[in-house]
Structure 1
Amino acid sequence: MGLFDRMKEPVFLKGNSNAEVQIEKLKALEPILNAEGQNIIKQDIKSLEYGIAGEKNIEFELKNSHIPMYILHDIYIEDGELSAQIDYLVFTKKICFIIECKNLYGDIEINSSGDFIRTMEFSGRKKKEGIYSPITQNQRHLELMKKIMTDRKNNIFTKYMAGRYFEDFNKSIVVLANPKTVLNAKYAKKEVKEKVIRADQLVKHIKEVYESSKVAADSEDKMLAWAQSYLDLHKAVEKDYTGKYEQYKINIITPRKQDEEVLTPVAERSTITVGEVPVEETDIFKELKAYRLDKSREEKIKPYFIYNDNQLKDLISKMPRNKEELQTVSGFSEVKANKYGDDILKIIKKY
């Protein structure tokens, strides 16, 4: 069977990323932090956005490859105490490509020892620093995949065969997603050079490795089953990304009961009125707050991750008529506006 058969285009079986959810949670938290906390969280958001931008570059290359293959993005697998967060798994009829995305600032040099050295320029001065090898990082992902697959076999012989030929069917690729990055691997060993490429070389690399492989091509059904077996292993882990920012929250203590104290963020204490009525007592405030609570229970997240009270007041103050106007409201990015916009705008139109 050739590379191009009945299935003509790549198919994403999983395309979303956990990092996008993390960014939304951090953006919702930002308004209730002090100045120091906001500086820290802005840098963390920027780093996450930069990583997502790199993965989007890879996604673009894969989507426009016109290669029949199945793709899994942002897969988390674990076995006992071992775990791996894999950027992309790309399944062809012969080979699974395990892709580690690096959207790095600066230029990258790989020396004869396999060390990764980054050079960055600040105010006309160049600075060099060693970075953790993404090849080593990706190799650990492969080792965990190999362990899980061999452990699933029923007898000693099939376990041996699965381990013996695992590398023939699974190939590691480290992709440098920043188009401005210059890669210098002149002195790197051949086996290292073959594992590190730029994003614009990804499709060509996949085709070349596929065509040169002596492994027999499977059917499209088996290719799908192969990809599905890893999708079934994926675990959507609920992580708390907000713990490190607790010390930066701005709080006051408001007595509610004789034996209870409740922390109320300062960012949510401003008083807004609609006519002569405090905004908190209006029907629209109550309905939008009820909607927030329902969605938070549905998604198993804290209500203020969707929007906090301060953002809710800004929402009522601006009364947006469409998703573009909704993005002018504090805390509403394009992603959040698309996710919750239809429901929110429907409520607003009633008032």
Structure 2
Amino acid sequence: MSIFDKLLNKRTITNPIFLKEFEDNNKQLQDLNDLLEKVSSDKKNLINRDIFFIKQELYGEKNVYNELKNSFIPMLAVHDIRLEFNDYVAQYDFILITAKCIFVLKTKQLNGDIDITEDGDFVRIIKNKEGKFLRKQGMYNPISANERDAHILEEILHREKLLNSITLKPIVVISNPKAIINKSKCPENIKSNLYKYDQISTLIKKVLDDSKYANELSEKNMYEIANYLINNNKEENIDYISRYSLDKIETKNENLDKIRNLQLNNVEKHVDLNEKEI
């Protein structure tokens, strides 16, 4: 290879570059906090519950984000992407675009102790405050959902001629540092796609060092993929009126306006009566 060719192929992406950053206060959280100020009924409890869950999710995603930002891995990254494809909708927490592989990350809190059986079933162990066993509770398999979303992404990128032979690897990342996951008996496809957030950098580096990932994306192609994801991100428009079965939303100012209008009407009626007496 000539010196010119080496210069032409020199890579400038030497660290993680987030083209769509993580945000502590996302749009859904902002919308719910705004809605909370406008609702004066028992629906506040439902909204507060959802705000709590979203904050928990964001806390977990921030753990993953910080780990990725400090990984020194050459990649382009985007956070919180929602794509629509045919009749499918796929939500992505993180998509990491490296030269050799695209990682599709789904973050999960998975609070408590989780056992994964030989059949791939996820079972939550419920304990009391003293740590004594109470019961087992089945839960959905996050691996399957993430594999489906990764497949949709692969179909989209192939359709747009942005991807040829580069591998997409779906990974579920446990973002809760206190979670205990027992995957000693689980199938290999789950074991190799489920990691705690503090292991994710090591996993990515291991994949990139693997000789079987021989094909490489150019940096131009990497940016094309990242920009496509950002430009085609479809934010979800949530109908909060229907979601919380709200007849209407009244703000404190609207309530005050009603009181003022009522008082004004009473004054006008009183004036009318006085005029008639005269």
Same fold (TM over 0.5): yes
Identity of aligned residues (%): 31
The answer to whether residue 207 in structure 2 is matched with residue 209 in structure 1 is yes
Tell me what 1:189 maps to: 187
Shift of 1:242: 4.3
Q: Which residue of 1 aligns with 2:156?
A: 148
Find out whether 1:269 has 2:261 as its counterpart: no
Deviations 1:1-47 (A, max 9, x none): 9xx96432211111145972111111122234345211111111000
Partner SS state of residue 42, structure 2 = helix
1:173 matched residue in structure 2: 171
What are the equivalent positions in structure 2 for 1:126-145 lying under 5 Å apart?
126=133, 127-145=135-153
Q: Rate the CA distance shift 1:57–1:104 in 2: closer, same or farther, 3 A.
A: same
Distance in 1 (alpha carbons) for counterparts of 2:195 and 2:22: 24
The letter for the 2-side match of 1:52 is L
Q: CA deviation at 1:140?
A: 1.1
Q: Deviations over 1:74-117 (max 9, x none)?
A: 11111121110111100111000000000121122211111111
CA distance in 1, matches of 2:241, 2:144: 29
Q: How many residues align?
A: 246
Shift of 1:68: 1.0
* CA 106–267 in structure 1, closer or farther in 2 if over 3 Å, else same: farther
Match of 1:261 in 2: none
CA shift, 1:239, in A, is 2.9
- Structure 1 pair 19/188, CA: closer, same or farther in 2 (3 Å)? farther
Q: Which structure would you say has the larger RCO, counting Cα contacts within 8 Å and 6 or more residues apart?
A: 2
Structure 1 residues 196, 36: CA separation in 2 closer, same or farther (over 3 Å shift)? Answer: same
Instruction: Give structure 2 stretches of 5+ with no counterpart.
Output: 1-5, 258-278
Separation (CA, whole Å) in 2 of partners of 1:145 and 1:217: 18
- Equivalent residue letter for 1:138: N
Aligned to 2:36: 30
- Residue from 86, 89, 101 that aligns with 1:80: 86
2:3 matched residue in structure 1: none
Bigger Cα Rg: 2
CA deviations 1:221-250 (Å, max 9, x no partner) are 33222322333332234333443234376x
SS in 1 for 2:114: strand
* Contact residue 100 and residue 217 of structure 2 kept, 8 A: yes
Letter paired with 1:239: I
Give the Cα–Cα distance (whole angstroms) in 2 for the partners of residues 187 and 32 of structure 1: 50
Q: Determine the C-alpha separation between the residues in 2 that align with 1:46 and 1:237.
A: 19
SS at match of 2:216: coil
Give the Cα–Cα distance (whole angstroms) in 2 for the partners of residues 245 and 64 of structure 1: 40
C-alpha distance in 2, partners of 1:130/1:121? 14
Aligned to 2:78, the other structure's residue is in SS state: strand
Offset of residue 130 of structure 1? 1.3
2:215 match: secondary structure: coil
- Partners of 1:148 and 1:21 lie apart in 2 by 25
The one-letter amino acid paired with 2:139 is I
1:109 equivalent in structure 2: 115
Separation in structure 2 between the aligned mates of residue 34 and residue 236 of structure 1, nearest angstrom: 28
Looking at structure 2, the residues matched to 227 and 86 of structure 1 have their Cα atoms a distance apart, in angstroms, of 13
